[in-house]
């Protein structure tokens, strides 16, 4: 009984942690001007984040791929416009942003 209680407590804590992290990601997106070229559900200069999530669904390397695209910049994958590099973001922020983009829903 005690173990079951502990397990569900742990699960609740983990879920709260994950949503806090995604909340932090949303703040980083705002603070870095990502929304001047992206929106969650519509193409602006760059693809909609929900389209990115669709394209990479089921790709186990997606977090690493997207973290690298955000950090180094990207061109030629989605159209003619290029994304500039974001070299001031930490590895942890990049990973968080990539996971957040992958969780985007239209």
Binding residues for heme c: 34, 38, 83
Backbone angles phi, psi at 90, to 5 degrees: -75, 165
Shortest distance, position 90 Cβ to ligand HEC, whole Å: 12
> 61 exposed, middle or buried (CB, 10 Å; 0-12, 13-18, 19+)?
exposed
Closest to ligand HEC by CB, 1 vs 76, is: 76
Q: Using the minimum distance from each CB to ligand HEC, give the nearer residue, 12 or 56.
A: 56
Of 11 and 59, which CB lies nearer to ligand HEC in the complex structure?
Answer: 59
End-to-end CA distance of the chain: 41
> At its nearest, how many Å lie between ligand HEC and the CB of residue 6?
37
User: Where is 104: in which H helix or E strand?
Assistant: none
């Amino acid at each position: 009984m005690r173990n079951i209680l502990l397990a569900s407590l742990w699960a609740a804590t983990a879920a709260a942690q994950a949503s806090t992290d995604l909340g932090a990601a949303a703040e980083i997106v705002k603070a870095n001007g990502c929304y001047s070229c992206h929106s969650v559900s519509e193409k602006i200069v760059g693809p909609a984040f929900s389209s990115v999530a669709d394209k990479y669904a089921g790709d186990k390397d997606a977090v690493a791929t997207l973290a690298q695209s955000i950090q180094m910049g990207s061109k030629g994958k989605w159209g003619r416009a290029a994304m500039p590099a974001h070299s001031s973001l930490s590895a942890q922020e990049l990973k968080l942003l990539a996971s957040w983009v992958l969780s985007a829903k239209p």
